[in-house]
Amino acid sequence: DIQMTQSPSSLSASVGDRVTITCQASQDISNYLNWYQQKPGKAPKLLIYDASNLQRGVPSRFSGSGSGTDFTFTISSLQPEDFATYYCQQYDNLPPYTFGQGTKLEIK
């Protein structure tokens, strides 16, 4: 099975900061990667699909890039509502569709 290594596991930042989270796959997954946001007590929400495509309705301050084994998720200017936990998820070929361990983004 493909393993996803997400880093950092937690991150403190301030409103207005630029934030970057990385995800590394244990093998080449092309661009078969999604990013999700989860707020406490809520279900996850799809933000980015196919590594770099913004889900409809998601603000443009969120972006994703990468292919192969190395991927990056960026928030260009943090807003108060962005403090949450973020997960990457790969979907190369057949299941299982594995998630990264998550990155908890906290207010500094």
Binding-site ranges for other proteins (CB under 8 A): 1, 32, 34, 36, 38, 42-46, 49-50, 55, 87, 89, 91, 94-102
Looking only at the bridges linking them, the beta strands covering 19-25 and 70-75 are: antiparallel
Q: How far is the CB of 77 from other proteins (least distance, A)?
A: 25
Closer to other proteins at the Cβ: 77 or 101? 101
Question: C-beta of 79: minimal distance to other proteins in Å?
Answer: 22
d(CA 35, CA 74): 10
**Closest separation between CB of residue 106 and other proteins, Å?**
15
CB 92 within 8 A of CB 42: no
d(CA 88, CA 72): 9
